[in-house]
Chains A and B, each alone.
Chain A
């Protein structure tokens, strides 16, 4: 008990104010359907990628929605090994399992098998985006006690915000002014008799007060729709960068009248949705019929939102129609949307075990947000820059997944190699290393000496294959490693990379 859901980054949960005065019915209706979720989870240790990781328990909230499902935050159930769900009215703890988890928008669905559990529950209907300044109520099980807590707050701001659970995503989020506490995560935020959001994160520390965030219903609806086919796909991304077209000289340069409309495309990411469709210097005038203001906003339901919101609500394979001003002429362009898989390196990973290759005490791991989080204190400038510039410089075209010599497990066979930990691997036995999958075949190639070269002016690491074969059992025993490598990507996909295959392996 007492453990709170507070796993990644600054995930505090927000308490909000109870639905204003409209009597006991809504209150009890909400209370009937809010559940406490207790999770025993396992977190992988990227320092020791072969270990099953640390076990910890945590508590969050959730609520019953249609289809005998409970909606909660992804971060409440991430890495869950055992989940129980409990209602206020029923002291029993029911085991539950995860149906779907969407780390990119921090939502998850869990289900209780035991039909007893649903007795006395109903379905909380899902509403719309609440008005600014209107009052909402937050339900959850924050620190300070074990029973349901209800707090009340005002809708302070409706804007894009980063979703810290994934670390790379920004979606619409609603800020409310109630103090938020660990344990509120996944709880419903209610207005009148409807759910208007899911409490999910807040600020930790002294920088801000009374700032909490909830996931608004467009994001919730999108998630629920996405999983209708039994599978959650990632958010799609238009994968461009644009700049407001506010400067008069710039407007003139692009031959646009001073009508306050349009943004300039400044970058198109290779392998992204707009790759091959848009060009740098295109002026985007409208998206799906919505005029784009020169600051990049569009009107949606009368509200100004960033143009990405149009894309946000779509699914892989959907299209957007753009009016594009190119070479002083209006062109119609259609973009088929897909997830930006090439940036998946920046996403915190939760479920899949860390991948690695162990070779004579040398541990190779792909560069991921998780690995960076453990290396950050010791990472040298090259490693940090490889990480920072991977997207911006489209390093993924050449190297979809940089491989790092993440550590050297000391052994008498590798005493001269210990200082090389943290280097970015460039080639092994003359073969360019572009993903972790290249490592094993490269290590097996060549003669008796294996030569590993790194980016920059570091010395190479040279090992004798016969010696490695001999010391591997010893190293694995000493360090408690059962598998020499784990390279299966699971369902994840990387950038395809646009390098030329010829000239490989010479």
Chain B
């Protein structure tokens, strides 16, 4: 995972370099998260717990903004006042792992009484001077000068495409509670630091436009997330390619190399091979940039993801076979959400089903990542293939990938022990759509053969239905499984 979180460890007390000033009081709160993720390889249990400590920003109204990474897979989140050890539990009111933002609400509504809160400042540009705030042990504020190096579309830790991100140069001393830190400008919030590399002294921050979008979406209590277009595209600078796809001679536009018919673009009528000339009135150049009033040339990703919200109208101008036309639709997230294999799942217990020692799971990106940094080489190749190319092959999103993840030795799994990573297709001739479906199908057979049919070799595995009740129970006991299924 290419994360470089602000992970500043407890390095003892250093002399504080800056002194708190009045305008900083009542703006920050310590966030203590207790994290315990599910063990994807042993889906019935969780991994070792650990704690993450960050600094949250108190918003006017008493809610707290933090990064999603700080509270991913939490068991408990607590807030602590900077100058005292006064603590309060907090609920996560809205969270967006793609945008890496979370909104926390103290369970005691009066806990942050007296905190004035921080208002959102303006969007910044490259070259702007800013500050990163950290809390000293005694609650004083440590302010480090920072400079915005860049403002453009870049990768977020749990996102497939990209969002607006600031590159920040800052020299941060090691302090507690630095997993998340605010980026401030004139006492207003300018962004949330989400990554920092101590060697180069450069970091990344989530800019205010992202935070605004997130808070606006969360305000109605129904969080929808950032829209997606559902396309792959290629730059159109190559004159030979332009000629081939009959792109306008006047220049501009990008080539759509894949369009998901379920997505925003697909439902608006865009097709593979179209040249996308403008979005919502913004012209696109040959490299896929539009001219942002604030940032100048900026990748189209910002235009289609940060600016609009789910449900807002989308306007496209395209050239198809040399003919220009306008197409209209509305922004949504279907291309991202309606998929057979969900990408990353946080906070969600993995589903599983143990049948007489055969362990079945539903495939997720999170399961694959459990194989480590080189998951695409180490995980079973069929699973990697199905996941990686699902945007291309677009399997029925209703049909989840149920696979045999491992075999627990039992008297009835003799000869099956080495098997793993096998995608299940049918049980007794019936197509299996998801894990609940499999559980139901298994439960219905009281006696006789259970014929599991897999996509790959060895093709078929057989169990006897009448053996299951006693064997499954014994397996649960022998291996200490709290339950034989979670569906």
Contact = CB atoms under 8 A, between A and B. Distances in A.
A266 B458 contact: yes
A477 interface: no
Interface stretch (B106-114, B127-135, B459-467): B459-467
Nearest to A241: B457
Given A244-B415, A456-B392, A249 B459 contact: no
A320 to B, nearest CB: 21
B319 to A, nearest CB: 16
Interface string A450-476: 010000111111111000000000000
Interface in A278-299: 280-281
B462 A247 contact: yes
A389 B382 CA distance: 8
Nearest to B244: A462
A416 interface: yes
Interface string B412-437: 11111000000000000000000000
A248 B412 contact: yes
Interface in B332-377: 376-377
B232 interface: yes
Contacts of B416: 247
B381 interface: yes
A296 B212 CA distance: 65
A249 B241 contact: no
Given A385-B385, A389-B385, A267 B457 contact: yes
A451 B392 contact: no
A25 interface: no
A381 B241 CA distance: 25
A462 B238 contact: yes
A246 interface: yes
B232 A250 contact: no
Interface residues of A, number: 36
Interface in B376-401: 376-377, 381-382, 384-385, 388-389, 392
A248 B241 CA distance: 61
Contact of B460 (A281, A381, A451): A281
B441 interface: no
Contacts of B241: 416, 459-462
B326 interface: no
A252 B415 contact: no
Majority secondary structure of chain B interface residues (helix, strand, loop or mixed)? mixed
A381 B243 contact: no
Contact of B464 (A249, A280, A463): A249
B258 interface: yes
Nearest to A247: B415
Interface string A250-277: 1011000000000010110000000000
B200 interface: no
A280 B457 CA distance: 10
A248 B457 CA distance: 19
B381 A385 contact: yes
A251 to B, nearest CB: 9
B408 to A, nearest CB: 14
B240 A449 contact: yes
A174 interface: no
A392 B457 CA distance: 9
B23 interface: no
Given A247-B414, A456-B392, A266 B459 contact: yes
A250 B244 contact: no
B449 A253 contact: yes
Interface in B223-271: 232, 234, 237-238, 240-241, 243-244, 255, 257-258
Top-10 shortest CB links A-B: A246-B415, A416-B238, A459-B234, A457-B258, A247-B415, A462-B240, A266-B458, A243-B458, A253-B462, A457-B257
Given A244-B415, A417-B238, A462-B243, 14 more contacts: A248-B414, A249-B464, A250-B460, A250-B462, A281-B459, A381-B376, A384-B377, A457-B258, A458-B234, A459-B234, A460-B244, A461-B241, A462-B238, A463-B240
20 contacts: A244-B415, A246-B414, A246-B415, A247-B415, A247-B416, A247-B462, A248-B414, A249-B412, A249-B463, A250-B462, A253-B449, A280-B459, A385-B381, A389-B382, A392-B457, A416-B237, A451-B244, A459-B257, A460-B244, A461-B241
Interface of A: 241, 243-250, 252-253, 264, 266-267, 280-281, 381-382, 384-385, 388-389, 392, 416-417, 449, 451, 456-464
